[in-house]
Structure formats: C-alpha cells, structure tokens
Chains A and B, each alone.
Chain A
Amino acid sequence: MHRLGWLLVLLAGVALAQTAPELLQETSERLQEGPWKAELVGQIVGPGGDLQPADLKVTVVPGAEVVRIDFIRPDALADNYLVITPDKVYNYLFLTNQVVVYPRAKARIEGLGFDLSRMGDLQGLEARRDLTWEDPAPTELDGRVAWKLVGRAADPQSAGFVRVALWIERSEALPLRSAFYGEGEQVLSDLNWENFTFADLKPDALVSFPPDAEWIEKN
C-alpha cells in the first residue's frame, strides 16, 4: 500500500509537471497582466566583446506595447535611455541631449554586443520554434524556489545566441534571472531581475523626453 501511494504521487507529479514552454507561457501571461517595472542588474557584453557591469531599469506597459530601458550602468551609457513603441523607437543620448527617432520596422537597437530589444522581453520565447527546451529543473535562487529553464537555438546565427537560461520563481511565475550565452559559452548577458513591481503606469510617462532635447528623425 505504501509503495502504491508513492507510485500514485509519482504519476500525479508527472501528470502535473509543466513543460518549459508552458512555464514560459505562464510567465509571459504574468508579464502581460499590467504595467510593471524592474531593475536588471548583472553583466552585459560590450561592443568589444568584454563583459561590463550592467544596471538597467526596465519599464513596460504591455497593453500599449511600450518598453522603456533606462541605463544606469555601464557608466558609458548612464542616463541614456531607449523607448520602444509599436511604431517607433526613441533613443535618447544624454551627453548631446539628442533624441534619435527611428521607425520601429527599421530600428537598429544595437550599440552593445547584444540585442537590447531582447531585454525585458521574455514574451515570445515560448512561441519560438527555433528553440529546443530542456525539461524544467527545480532549483533555488537567493532562497527562492524556482524553475531553471534552458533553451538552445537551432540556428545561433539568426537567434543571436546559442543558449538561454531562465530562472522563474515558482509561486509567482515571474523571472528572477535571465542569461544568454554565445559561442563557447561566452556570456552575452546575465541579469538578475530585482525590485519587480506591477505599477500604475501610462504610456505617456514612458514616452517622455527632456523638452530642450534636439530631435533627429530617421526615415
């Protein structure tokens, strides 16, 4: 009877176990629930391929599809910020007080050795067919019970990375850490998601720039 009980528990566990795409879907839905902000702290690869300390404030209004990334570190990017809207991308440069505006379709959000549009946007990862996900592994991160998900890109060249690892808090289904790796396990970015909060934010608050900034429109 004792053995049968354990067998039932095991079978139930297998039946209830979520796959990586399901967990990602759940996280994606959580991130779609309302406007949120988080600080992403860790390391990011620089233009020369060297790792730099990174501290980014990410603010998202999912309904309006507006994302804002404020750079706190690396020092060279401090006070610059990027606003991504459905039709335009705004790039604010603090030192010259300039706003460069691109049509979203033509925007090149480069400038680091890493595609910034991936930052704060874990949605869509579950839908990508070019990623193969390993089974979620139970783990712990900073004392919080989490799932670790590892995905591999079928075509690293087009994906921009070879491997992605995500740590998702089990109870809240929110990201705790995201890391992207390139060839030879080179870290492209490794960021801890800190101070995540849902907040009452309007898109206008994100799409705002210093009134005295010079505007440069790109077509």
Chain B
Amino acid sequence: MRKLALLIMLAAAPLSMAQSLEFGLWAGGPNLSVGPTVNLRYPAGDWTLDAWLRAYLPNTDEISFGLGARRAFEAGPAGRGEAGLKAFIGMDAHYWVEAYGSAVLGKGALEASLGHTYNRTPSHFWPLQGETLGTYGQLAGKYRLTHELTLQSTLYVYEGGGQAEAALSWRAGQQTFTLGAGGVDRASNAYAILGYKTPYERAVVAATLRLGAFNDLRLDYADRAHKAHLTLAYPARAQVGVAWDRWAVDAEVDNRGYEFYLRYTLPLEGL
C-alpha cells in the first residue's frame, strides 16, 4: 500500500509543478485511428519544459512520446527571442527531432527550424505542425522598411523539394495589403500571393490567396474570445481550426485522408 502511495506521489510530482495540462483527442485516416494525447507544460522562469504522449489505436506502433525544452530571451519593448529543441520517439522506432529558434529585435524578426524525421507518418496536428519525412529546414524573416511597409519571406527546404516566398505588406490606416510571389521546387512553378487584413467591428479578419503553381485561400477571423481559420486549397485540401476559451479544434481533409485534433487545456497553476 505504501509502495502504491509512493508511486502515485512520484507520478503526480510533475503535475504539481506543471502550469498546464492539455488533453487531446487525435483521429486520422483513411482508416479510423484514434489517439488520445496529453501535453504537460512546465514553465520555470525563462525556460519551458514540455512532455507529450500520444496513444494510438488500433495500431499501437504509432504510440509516441516526446520531450521539449525551450528558453526565452526577453528584451522588453525592443523584442524577444526563443530557442528550443524537441524530440519524439515512437513504438515502431520512428523518431523526430527538431531545433528551432526565433528572434524579434527592433525592425527585424527571424524564425528558423531544422529537423529530421525517420520512418514516421507525416501529421499536421501531432503536435500541431506539419513536418515531412527526412531532413527539413525552414527560415522565415520579416523586416520593417518603413512604418507602412514590411518585407517578409520564407524558405522551406525538405528532401526532394522546396518552397520559397517573398511578399511586401503595406499598412494603410488599420488595413494591411500584401502582395508577393512564391515558387515550388523551381522557378517555373511560381505563384502569386495576395493578402488583405482589416479590423471589422471588434474583430480582425484576414484573407490570403495563393494562385498559380500552388493554390490556396486562407481566411482568418479573431475576436476577443475566438480565433478561427479556414484554408481551401487545390489540389483538393481543406483545413479548419477554431480556438476558444481553453478549447481548440483543428481538422483537415484531402484526397489521402483526414485528420482531426480536439484539445482542452487545464490550467494547473493554483490548484
């Protein structure tokens, strides 16, 4: 009995330190697979530690466990930065590691990630990112040319391909217009980027259209209580996400299958 009590206390120890506990339900297919998930978050000063666990049914090979650590660097109104590392391993010996960093200082912002995935089914929603198989890297930057103009660009490289974008955003009053161009793999696979963002009553709405070799329309809505986005793409793909209060749900469907991810965050601070 004492041993059991000790075990329970040991198991509960991380919970007592954690600030939040996120419970999720992941589902994906073409066939139905269900994965309950848990994310334990423990912030300690500038450090944040994460632990993830996803069960997976009926194929238990896809059960995976992950750990992450990141450190923030704060510079007040001048900016901030963050650097971190996360790693996941699964029952079928798949693994995924990613190092990432971001910094915003004055007029410039930079975000970079570098990762490697081995023998793992790509997933957009576990844990909420879209990685690919093999080695990949992403670099994104923003620079404010003037109070009205901001230059932004992204570069995404993965085994067997890549994607690059550059766009200029022009702020006119409270509205922002974006115009840019991108390319997939090679220059002939180019596409145009058009964006518009405006406050609407007490909310902010935004639309981004990519047209050409890559086609999608993304709509964003945010008010004080809700954040939502919808992406419609061709070749056929649809993605929707809504977050409200402590809840969030994301879903995606394309011609290869679907993914669904519902989450609830339980704050533990003060319990």
Q: Mark A residues whose CB is within 8 Å of B.
A: 47, 69, 71, 75-82, 91, 93, 95-96, 98, 100, 108-112, 116, 210-212, 216-219
Point out which of B72, B144, B150, B206 has the most chain A C-beta atoms below 10 A from its C-beta. Answer: B144
CB pair B80–A76 under 8 Å, yes or no, is no
B78 interface neighbour in A77, A98, A218, Cβ under 8 Å: A77
Taking residues whose C-beta sits less than 8 angstroms from the other chain, chain B's interface range is 20 to 34
List the B residue with the shortest CB-CB distance to A117. Answer: B76
CB pair B204–A210 under 8 Å, yes or no, is yes
Quick check: is B185 within 8 A (CB to CB) of the other chain? no
List the B residue with the shortest CB-CB distance to A109. Answer: B76
CB pair B222–A112 under 8 Å, yes or no, is no
Q: In the assembled complex, which residues on chain B have CB atoms less than 8 Å from the CB atom of A219?
A: 19, 43, 45, 269
CA distance A95 to B224 in the complex (A): 20
Q: In the assembled complex, which residues on chain B have CB atoms less than 8 Å from the CB atom of A81?
A: 77
Query: Closest Cβ of chain B: how far from A206's Cβ, in Å?
Result: 15
CA distance A196 to B108 in the complex (A): 33
Given A91-B76, A93-B104, A116-B76, answer yes or no on A75-B147 (Cβ-Cβ < 8 Å).
Answer: yes
Within 8 A of A (CB), among B69-128: 72, 74-80, 102, 104-109
Quick check: is B216 within 8 A (CB to CB) of the other chain? no
Beyond A76-B106, A218-B74, 16 additional pairs, beta carbon < 8 A: A47-B78, A71-B77, A76-B107, A91-B77, A95-B104, A95-B109, A96-B142, A98-B104, A108-B76, A211-B203, A211-B223, A211-B224, A212-B204, A212-B220, A217-B43, A218-B43
Q: In the assembled complex, which residues on chain A have CB atoms less than 8 Å from the CB atom of B19?
A: 219
CB pair A78–B147 under 8 Å, yes or no, is yes
Interface string of B1-29 (1 = CB under 8 A from A): 00000000000000000010000000000
Q: In the assembled complex, which residues on chain B have CB atoms less than 8 Å from the CB atom of A218?
A: 43, 72, 74
Q: In the assembled complex, which residues on chain A have CB atoms less than 8 Å from the CB atom of B72?
A: 216, 218
CB pair B204–A116 under 8 Å, yes or no, is no
Please classify the interface of chain B as helix (H, G, I), strand (E, B), loop, or mixed, using the class held by over half of its residues: strand
List the B residue with the shortest CB-CB distance to A208. Answer: B224
B75 interface neighbour in A69, A96, A111, Cβ under 8 Å: A111
A-B contact pairs, 18 of them (CB 8 A): A76-B106, A76-B107, A77-B77, A79-B147, A82-B76, A95-B109, A95-B144, A96-B142, A98-B104, A100-B74, A111-B78, A111-B79, A210-B222, A211-B203, A211-B224, A212-B227, A219-B43, A219-B269
Q: Mark B residues whose CB is within 8 Å of A.
A: 19, 43, 45, 72, 74-80, 102, 104-109, 142, 144, 147, 150, 202-204, 206, 220, 222-224, 227, 269
List the A residue with the shortest CB-CB distance to B44. Answer: A219
Query: Closest Cβ of chain B: how far from A215's Cβ, in Å?
Result: 10
Query: Closest Cβ of chain B: how far from A95's Cβ, in Å?
Result: 5
Q: In the assembled complex, which residues on chain B have CB atoms less than 8 Å from the CB atom of A95?
A: 104, 107-109, 142, 144, 150
Given A93-B104, A95-B104, answer yes or no on A100-B80 (Cβ-Cβ < 8 Å).
Answer: yes
CA distance A91 to B79 in the complex (A): 9
Which are the 6 A-B pairs with shortest beta-carbon distances?
A111-B76, A76-B106, A111-B78, A212-B222, A211-B222, A212-B204
Q: In the assembled complex, which residues on chain A have CB atoms less than 8 Å from the CB atom of B109?
A: 95-96
CB pair B77–A116 under 8 Å, yes or no, is yes
CB pair B77–A80 under 8 Å, yes or no, is yes
Given A210-B204, A212-B227, answer yes or no on A93-B107 (Cβ-Cβ < 8 Å).
Answer: no
Q: In the assembled complex, which residues on chain B have CB atoms less than 8 Å from the CB atom of A91?
A: 76-77
CA distance A11 to B142 in the complex (A): 66
Query: Closest Cβ of chain B: how far from A128's Cβ, in Å?
Result: 23
CA distance A147 to B77 in the complex (A): 33
CA distance A162 to B106 in the complex (A): 28
Query: Closest Cβ of chain A: how far from B139's Cβ, in Å?
Result: 15
A108 interface neighbour in B74, B102, B106, B144, Cβ under 8 Å: B74
Q: In the assembled complex, which residues on chain A have CB atoms less than 8 Å from the CB atom of B104?
A: 93, 95-96, 98
Q: In the assembled complex, which residues on chain B have CB atoms less than 8 Å from the CB atom of A69?
A: 77
CA distance A82 to B78 in the complex (A): 11
CA distance A194 to B34 in the complex (A): 62
Given A77-B106, A95-B144, A95-B150, answer yes or no on A110-B223 (Cβ-Cβ < 8 Å).
Answer: no
List the B residue with the shortest CB-CB distance to A75. Answer: B107
List the B residue with the shortest CB-CB distance to A219. Answer: B43
CA distance A95 to B106 in the complex (A): 8
